[in-house]
Structure 1
Amino acid sequence: MLLIGVLAGAISGVIGTGSSIMLLPVLVFTFGPKQAVPIMAVAAIMANFSRVVAWRREIDWKAFAAYSVTGIPAAAIGARTLWVLPVRLIDIGLGLFFLAMIPAKRWLDAKNRRIRLWQLSVAGGVIGFLTGIVLSTGPLSVPAFSSYGLMKGAFLSTEAASSLALYVSKAVTFRELGALPGEVIAQGLIVGSSLMLGTFAAKRIVQRMSLSSFRYVLDLLLLGSGVSMLWAAFH
């Protein structure tokens, strides 16, 4: 479990997300599906906090504020909706969205078009709500922040700070619903510690990557995330 956590932390430290997707099968097998979501919520808080610390000097605070002001309350609403909404339809929708965003992001880059702060704020509300419902929507924030113009350290730091705010909101809501007892928190802290180690190990890799290589890595993430979401929906 710890070795997988370090590996997932290293990968998410390079591309900004993906640790939840890697750890989900292991957490479900070890603790059961009902505990996997709150455990990952705690671990995600620690993983994003480590990315904030590692890249703190490159955070775009305007982008963070625009994204989080709508994303925080939306994540709380989404967490409450989780108990009554069929997740399969959400997985299908997200999977198709991830795949569609690969050519869409390429088109935006080719046209040199960027989304504005108010559009980033709208994206924060939508992604925040979905973050409350499903285990991982990290890949959704990839096209949002990259289309705003953030890359490498600025992207990793701002996305991590915004995701941290959303996951704290989600975890607090889980706590209010009684889905986050002390045992689950302890398990989340253990998993989160391994993710933090991987995150700091990945910083040098990102610093040496070119912008074109970083873009290709993001495209591969969207492709893998889309396929995995569709696979989960139909199995």
Structure 2
Amino acid sequence: MLLVTALGAGALSGVIGTGASLLLLPLLVPMFGAVEAIPIMAVAGFMANLSRALAWRRSIAWKAVMAYSLPGIPAAVFGAYTLVHMPRGWPEVLLGLFIMAVVPLRRLVMKAIVSINLVQMAVVGAVIGFLTGLFLSTGPLSVPAFLALGLVRGAFIATEAMASLIVQMAKIVSFHEFGAISMVDLARGAAIGLALMLGTFAIRPLVARIRDHHFRVMMDVVTLLSGLWLLVFGLFQTA
């Protein structure tokens, strides 16, 4: 069931650029708990970003990558440390609340950020890096920042993927050092990441005719339902 969902999530994220973790976390968290599910999805996300970065490697804007990832690395480590040391049930509750908040936050960020410079991108990298270490699913928040730098098409895809990849690598190493990820979890993440990649390439032709607006509305619905499910599950865990 998880791998089939990953295929569908890969197809969806391949069309709208994000959303895979929002579909998979509601399945992973009840199976493994948030502290284990988030590192697993970090490995899967690393693979997905690696494939996009390699595909568009000649279009990477390295100054933007460094501006985002250098402050994002220690922020992600701190976020991962915070996650690992939370009381039982709290990671699930906060994850659910954050995912539901992504819908209005994404709209606010898209309206607020028109253009930014590299210094402002560093601030964005630090904030989103911490949220990435703590919650994982921050793609809808980081995308407007990279677009605001004037990056388009291949340059946008490659630069956002490479910057996220570097931050995710720091997060995976942190989880390993904190004892929150095992070799089994790495294998699970790799399997899910492979399914995401296959879904992106295999299923995309079947859904490419649907308008982007419909996908974004569907993404908002999926986001809210995912967050609500994780919130309810976390509240039961704390009871």
Q: Please tell me the TM-score bracket, short chain as reference.
A: 0.7 to 0.9
| C-alpha separation in 1, matches of 2:14 and 2:96 | 24
CA distance, structure 1, for counterparts of residue 78 and residue 220 of structure 2: 28
Alignment pair present for 1:227 and 2:232: no
Alpha-carbon distance in structure 2 between the residues aligned to 1:153 and 1:78: 30
8 Å contact from structure 2 (residues 35, 83) kept in 1: no
- 1:114 is displaced (CA, Å) by 0.9
2:16 matches 1:15 = yes
Give the deviation of 1:83 after TM superposition. 2.8
Partner of 1:64: 65
Give, in whole Å, the separation in 1 of the partners of 2:53 and 2:204.
12
Q: Tell me the residue number matched to 2:189.
A: 188
Q: Deviations over 1:112-160 (max 9, x none)?
A: x411111111100000011111131221112211222223332222111
Partner of 2:178 in structure 1? 177
- State whether residues 54 and 203 of structure 1, in contact with CA within 8 Å, keep that contact through their aligned partners in structure 2: no
CA distance in 2, matches of 1:24, 1:63: 29
Secondary structure at the residue paired with 1:150?
Answer: coil
What corresponds to 2:237 in structure 1? none
Q: Residue in 2 aligned with 1:78?
A: 79
Q: Distance in 1 between matches of 2:203 and 2:57?
A: 15
Aligned to 2:27: 26
Q: Which runs of 5+ in 2 are unaligned?
A: 233-239
**% identity of equivalent residues:** 45
Relative to structure 1, is the Cα distance of residues 53 and 80 closer, same or farther in structure 2, using a 3 angstrom cutoff? same
User: Shift of residue 29 of structure 1?
Assistant: 3.9
Shift of 1:35: 2.5
1:99 to 2:104 alignment: yes
* Normalised TM-score (structure 2): 0.79
CA distance in 1, matches of 2:142, 2:7: 22
Q: Is the 8 A contact 1:99 1:222 kept in 2?
A: no
User: Whole-Å Cα distance in 1 between the matches of residues 176 and 122 of structure 2?
Assistant: 26
Check the 8 A contact 2:59/2:154 in 1, yes or no: yes
Distance in structure 1 (CA, Å) of the matches to 2:218 and 2:55: 21
Which has the higher mean CA deviation after the structures are superposed, 61-70 or 20-29? 20-29
Q: Give SS of 1:82's match.
A: helix
- Residue pairs, 1:38-187, within 5 angstroms: 38-85=39-86, 86-87=90-91, 88-89=93-94, 92=97, 95-96=100-101, 98-102=103-107, 104-106=109-111, 113-187=114-188
Equivalences, count:
226
Quote how far apart the aligned CAs of 1:233 are.
6.8
RMSD of aligned Cα (Å): 3.1
Contact kept in structure 2, 1:74 and 1:132, CA below 8 Å: yes
Contact 2:109 2:141 survives alignment (8 Å): no
Deviation, 1:234, is 4.9
